[in-house]
Amino acid sequence: MPARVADVAVRLVQLTKRFGGDATGRRVAGFVEGAIADQGFMAVDHIDLEVRDGEFFSLLGPSGCGKTTTLRMIGGFEQPT
């Protein structure tokens, strides 16, 4: 059963972040191997997530998979693209 709106503390819907390669992406000095300079680098690709009020939640994954970028967007330090 989906959570009621009042129960949800954090909701991410189709959250995306691309670095470089477009007017809204931040330019970076170097790109990850395999990234095309004109296209930039997709750090976070269409994440959907709901965290309920009072719920303990953690993001797990390998280095470079977008965990910190996602948390920075939730905290308001990065703008989604």
Domain-located, residue 23? yes
Whether pTM exceeds 0.85: no
80 belongs to a structural domain: no
pLDDT band at 19 (very low <50, low <70, confident <90, very high): confident
9-36 mean pLDDT? 70
For residue 40, give its domain range.
5-75
In a domain, 81, yes or no: no
Q: 40, exposed or middle or buried, with CB in 10 Å at 0-12, 13-18, 19+? A: buried
Assess if residue 49 is contained within a domain: yes
pLDDT above 90 for 46: yes
Give the count of domains, the chain. 1
Q: 44 has which bridge partners? A: 17
